[in-house]
Copies of this chain bind each other. A is one copy, B any other.
Amino acid sequence: MREERKLQIIQAASRVFSRKGLAGAKMSDIAREAGLSHGHLYNHFKTKEELLATIVQMGQELYGRVLKGELAREGDAAGKLRRIAETVWFSGGMTGIYWVVLQTQASDVLPAETKAEISARMMLNLDLLTQIIEQGQREDTFTTGDPKEIATIAMMFLHNTGLWEIRGLGEPKHSMVDWLLKLVRK
């Protein structure tokens, strides 16, 4: 029904935005990708801008849920980080979103206010990752230093590895997790 149709649009739009860039993605491209008429998009989203903002928000929240899930789980920090990386890199749909978020911050397609909200959510997620880093430090397996800085670097590594496909480097290998752990380990 309605919610389902909306999701279908969001997923199509994610793919198109990450493939074509924010300004380069046309509403008609998105409609075609979703198998709908372009006019119909407007029955679900008032503007292209609203659609974009929705995608970004949903992507960030999905990512936040993954982080929270791992945080709440039993097990050591290294294992958590490993599973997060696997999810980000191989679950699909998530790496494209990050690329869209990045462009969102760089451009002024979205109004400053919306950009600020996105930034805030990004910080929220960074805090969650920071908590995992702190757990690793308590377990004495992660390197010492400002946990927030370490989380920042880990997050950067996490997301940018996800962009490999876009860069024409192919899908990241599973062994990339080891590099991530090399970075944060003692």
| Chain A residues proximal to chain B, CB less than 8 Å | 18-24, 99, 102-103, 105-109, 119, 122, 143, 152-153, 156-157, 160-161, 163-164, 166-169, 176, 179, 182-183
List residues of chain B with CB within 8 A of the CB of A22: 21, 23-24
Can you spell out 7 A-B residue pairs with CB atoms less than 8 angstroms apart? A19-B108, A20-B106, A21-B21, A105-B167, A122-B168, A156-B161, A157-B157
List residues of chain B with CB within 8 A of the CB of A156: 160-161, 164
List residues of chain B with CB within 8 A of the CB of A143: 182
13 A-B pairs besides A22-B23, A105-B168, A179-B183 with CB distance below 8 A are: A18-B106, A19-B106, A21-B22, A24-B109, A99-B106, A102-B166, A102-B167, A152-B169, A156-B160, A156-B161, A157-B157, A160-B160, A182-B182
Alpha-carbon gap, A161 to B160, bound state (A): 10
Alpha-carbon gap, A24 to B133, bound state (A): 37
Partner of A105, one of B23, B24, B119, B166: B166
Q: Decide if the interface of chain A is mainly helix, strand, loop or mixed.
A: helix
In angstroms, how far is the closest chain B Cβ from the Cβ of A166?
5
Assess the B179–A21 pair: CB atoms within 8 A.
no
Assess the A107–B20 pair: CB atoms within 8 A.
yes
Assess A21 versus B106: contact at CB under 8 Å? Given A179-B153, A179-B183, A183-B179: yes
Assess the B168–A119 pair: CB atoms within 8 A.
yes
User: Residue among A22, A156, A157, A183 with the most chain B CB within 10 A?
Assistant: A156
Alpha-carbon gap, A24 to B152, bound state (A): 28
In angstroms, how far is the closest chain B Cβ from the Cβ of A136?
15
